[in-house]
């Protein structure tokens, strides 16, 4: 390769890596694996050095992505460097050799910690108070996400014990596996796209503009470094971890001092097995020279310290054969293609099926029946097909094409708007019927105990119910004929169904299963319209006036109530006495009569629901958005854009204390 050829390849690699950095750090949608990225980066570094092509703007000289333009940019007083990666024992031994050569002795130890697969965060505390939360950004500058960081319950707003005047904390935001799965299930219920893995979800959540939405995401936090104004130079990384814990910051329990690199190797082997039992995602371990006094001598490159390195676990993959492609019908009619696999062991479980997401994804990867494919657990959670092993082989099966009709009911499939998914919109489609009834009975909806998947399946199969409204027509004589349904269990189920009639209006709206209407939207709709009839009669424009609701949701609500089949269900629910209005509560006083309140932020002593009940108890009302008709804004910790709008409109802003004084309940 001559210099001209090298320059061409260098330009190709820089463009690819810059796109990958943007996708990973800013868009939280990576399109190549970490290992592929590192291999391309290593190739680029080698070519730049060999042919003298190094440039300051090259990905080899940078940490990650540019800060987002959506947030204020902050300078990092000490750069947040990334870490060099290694994937085998030999490379780790080379790191150990370099450390010894630079220091000229072996009078040091190592500290080994789990490496979390999340998003790096910098916190700054002054006089013990949290004053800043920022992303890593490009290492020199990051995004100010303080308001979002304050919604993460793991992160203390004030430090414990003898805190320094200024404390800089480094850590990682992450999501636990089970919480991530539940969040994705909830998103799919609302017709939203599922996140690929916990890391993408965490990174994307931290960049959201509305802290209220961030607060609804199950984000956790671990701290792993502490920098303060102390002159103490002889501190160890191990002692820093203990100090972080004493200050009230969460620290992962899995860290260990190692006297030699051989002990590090042994711990890596142990933790590579341990990772499958952890509730959160880890993609490797971090090895640091334990004594911080040696960090200056060891120094750093432009992008990574020489006193630390990351050992990355291999992503667990397996090769198997696609035996067929089947279609799943979701509760809202979404058709999901699924690869039926020859059983293979992967990450401690037997994998027989993997989601293929949608038709476009299948075509992009050119996946066909009979192909040998590489399967990986995305974030060790969701099996997915990564690639086809032998795409050029002869006699491959024909390209997959989505059928025109639903596999369950033969209704014609459609795409709604710009949706990439095909859907069945037949309200009588059997799989949808079952899933809609299960959703209706779920804990967050009508909370009908005893009405699980197996019972619902029996009720639908035996023709006892066709919609969830039919639940209220069931008789004991019908139930006791079902398998494993004795007299007592039948009566318990009937009692639970009867009890569900007392659920409030917002739960009824959520239980109906309207696309895009989750629990929060259902609460806002109930509160905004007060009665089911008012909601049914509302126009798209009237629904959009509720602050949290946009055109897509409003259109879905109007469409749902406009369908004759759904109107019949609503009429049936009304006849059976379900709650169709927000109940008027007995008032304690008229001190807030005709006063309209808007709530924002987190109050010290009350939940949002409790504060609303207090306002209504004294004759006031609450609305979702600030306008010229708003009388007061009740603001707690981390107020959102409502606070700014209230100031702009000169609307009185109350904290919790002044609010309690206003209603005479300050004692």
- Domain boundary residue among 286, 312, 338? 312
4 CA to centre of own chain: 45
- Domain range for 30 is 3-61
**Same domain, yes or no, for 259 and 374?**
no
Joined together, the tokens standing for residue 404 give 């025109």
Give residue-wise pLDDT tens across range 416-436.
Answer: 777 788 999 887 888 899 989
Are 170 and 252 found together in one domain?
A: yes
Q: What value does the mean pLDDT of the chain take?
A: 86
Claim to verify: residue 301 and residue 326 sit in the same structural domain: no
pLDDT of residue 380: 47
| 629-639 mean pLDDT | 86
pLDDT band at 594 (very low <50, low <70, confident <90, very high): confident
pLDDT at 32 over 80: no
Tell me, yes or no, whether 276 and 331 share the same domain: no
Sheet of 308-312, strands arranged across: 85-86, 308-312, 282-289, 110-116, 255-258
Asked whether residue 606 is assigned to any structural domain, the reply reads: yes
CATH number of the structural domain spanning residue 245: 3.30.470.30
Q: How far is CA 373 from CA 32, 246, 370, 402, in A?
A: 17, 49, 9, 20
Predicted confidence at residue 62, as pLDDT, reads 54
Same-domain status, 96 and 167: yes
Could you read off the pLDDT of 48-74 as tens digits, one per residue? 888 888 776 677 765 555 555 568 889
In a domain, residue 419? The reply is no
pLDDT value at position 104? 95
305 and 323 together in one domain: no
The answer to whether 334 and 354 are in contact (CB under 8 A) is no
Are 125 and 78 members of one domain?
A: yes
Q: Is the pLDDT of residue 27 over 60?
A: no
pLDDT of residue 550: 82
In total, how many domains does the chain have? 5
CATH number of 324's domain = 2.40.50.140
Residue 278 lies in a domain: yes
Task: Give the CATH number, domain containing residue 648.
Answer: 3.40.50.10190
Verify that 139 and 186 share a domain, yes or no.
yes
Query: CATH number, domain at 25?
Result: 1.10.287.610
pLDDT at residue number 231: 43
Q: Is the residue at 250 inside a domain?
A: yes
- Give me the helices (H) in 192-290, please: 198-206, 211-216, 237-246, 261-274
pLDDT tens readout for residues 278-323: 888 888 999 999 999 998 899 987 678 999 999 988 767 789 999 9
Last residue of one domain, picked from the residues 312, 335, 362: 312
Residue 298 and residue 268 share a domain: yes
Would 413 be classed as within a structural domain? no
pLDDT digits (tens, 9 = 90+) for 374-405: 998 754 456 888 889 988 888 899 999 999 99
- 188 plus 90 within the same structural domain: yes
Residue 356 sits in the same domain as residue 250:
no
Give the helix/strand (H/E) hosting 129. strand 129-135
pLDDT for 524: 85
Q: Which of 544, 575, 606 is the last residue of a domain?
A: 575
Burial class (CB in 10 A: 0-12, 13-18, 19+), 537: exposed
Band (pLDDT 50/70/90 cuts) for residue 100 is: very high
- For residues 56 and 85, state if they share a domain: no
Among 3, 7, 35, 115, the one annotated catalytic: 115
Active site residue 115: yes
């Amino acid at each position: 390769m001559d210099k001209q050829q090298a320059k061409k390849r260098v330009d190709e690699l820089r463009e690819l890596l810059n796109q990958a950095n943007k996708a990973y750090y800013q868009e939280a949608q990576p399109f190549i694996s970490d290992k592929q990225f590192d291999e391309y980066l290593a190739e680029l570094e080698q070519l730049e050095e060999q042919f003298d092509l190094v440039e300051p703007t090259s990905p080899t000289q940078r940490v990650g992505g540019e800060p987002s333009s959506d947030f204020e940019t902050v300078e990092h007083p000490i750069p947040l460097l990334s870490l060099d990666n290694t994937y085998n024992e030999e490379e780790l031994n080379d790191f150990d050799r370099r450390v010894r050569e630079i220091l000229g002795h072996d009078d040091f130890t190592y500290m080994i910690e789990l490496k979390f697969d999340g998003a790096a965060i910098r916190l700054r505390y002054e006089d013990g108070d949290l004053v800043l939360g920022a992303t890593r950004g490009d290492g020199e500058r990051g995004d100010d996400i303080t308001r979002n960081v304050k919604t993460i319950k793991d992160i203390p707003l004030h430090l414990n014990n003898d805190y320094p005047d200024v404390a800089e904390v480094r850590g990682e935001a992450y999501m636990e596996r089970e919480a991530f799965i539940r969040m994705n299930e909830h998103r799919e219920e609302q017709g939203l796209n599922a996140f690929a893995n916990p890391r993408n979800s965490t990174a994307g959540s931290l960049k959201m503009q509305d802290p209220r939405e961030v607060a609804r995401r199950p984000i956790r936090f671990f701290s792993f470094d502490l920098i303060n104004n102390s002159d103490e130079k002889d501190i160890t990384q191990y002692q820093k971890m203990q100090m972080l814990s004493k200050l009230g910051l969460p620290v992962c329990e899995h860290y260990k001092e190692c006297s030699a690199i051989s002990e590090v190797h042994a711990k890596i082997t142990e933790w590579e097995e341990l990772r499958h039992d952890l509730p959160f995602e880890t993609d490797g371990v971090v090895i640091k020279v334990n004594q911080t006094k040696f960090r200056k001598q060891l120094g750093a490159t432009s992008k990574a310290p020489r006193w630390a390195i990351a050992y990355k676990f291999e992503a667990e993959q397996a090769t198997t054969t696609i035996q067929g492609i089947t279609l799943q019908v979701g509760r809202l009619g979404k058709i999901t293609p699924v690869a039926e696999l020859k059983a293979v062991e992967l990450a401690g479980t037997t994998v027989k099926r993997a989601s293929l997401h949608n038709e476009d994804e299948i075509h992009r990867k050119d996946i066909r029946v009979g192909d040998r494919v590489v399967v990986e657990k995305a974030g060790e959670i969701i099996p997915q097909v990564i690639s086809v092993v032998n795409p050029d082989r002869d006699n491959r099966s024909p390209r997959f094409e989505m059928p025109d009709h639903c596999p369950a009911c033969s209704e014609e499939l459609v795409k709604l708007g710009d949706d990439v998914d095909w859907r069945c919109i037949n309200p009588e489609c059997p799989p949808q019927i079952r899933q809609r009834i299960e959703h209706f009975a779920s804990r967050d909806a009508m909370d009908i105990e005893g009405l699980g998947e197996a019972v619902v399946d029996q009720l639908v199969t035996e023709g006892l119910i066709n919609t969830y409204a039919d639940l209220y027509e069931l008789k004991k004589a019908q139930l006791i004929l079902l398998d494993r349904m004795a007299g007592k269990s039948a009566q318990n189920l009937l009692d639970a169904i009867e009890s569900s009639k007392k659920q409030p209006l917002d739960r009824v709206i959520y239980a109906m299963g309207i696309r895009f209407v989750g629990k929060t939207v259902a609460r806002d709709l109930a509160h905004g319209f007060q009665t089911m009839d008012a909601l049914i009669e509302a126009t798209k424009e009237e629904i959009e006036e509720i602050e949290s609701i946009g055109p897509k949701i409003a259109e879905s609500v109007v469409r749902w109530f406009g369908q004759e089949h759904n109107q019949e269900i609503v009429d049936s629910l009304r006849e059976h006495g379900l709650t169709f209005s927000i109940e008027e509560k007995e008032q304690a006083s008229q001190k807030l009569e005709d006063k309209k309140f808007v709530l924002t932020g987190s109050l010290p002593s009350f939940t949002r629901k409790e504060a609303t009940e207090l306002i209504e108890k004294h004759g006031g009302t609450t609305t979702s958005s600030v306008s010229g008709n708003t009388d007061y804004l009740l603001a707690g910790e981390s107020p959102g854009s409502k606070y700014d709008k209230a100031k702009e409109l000169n609307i009185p802003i109350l904290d919790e204390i002044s609010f309690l004084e206003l209603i005479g309940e300050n004692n």
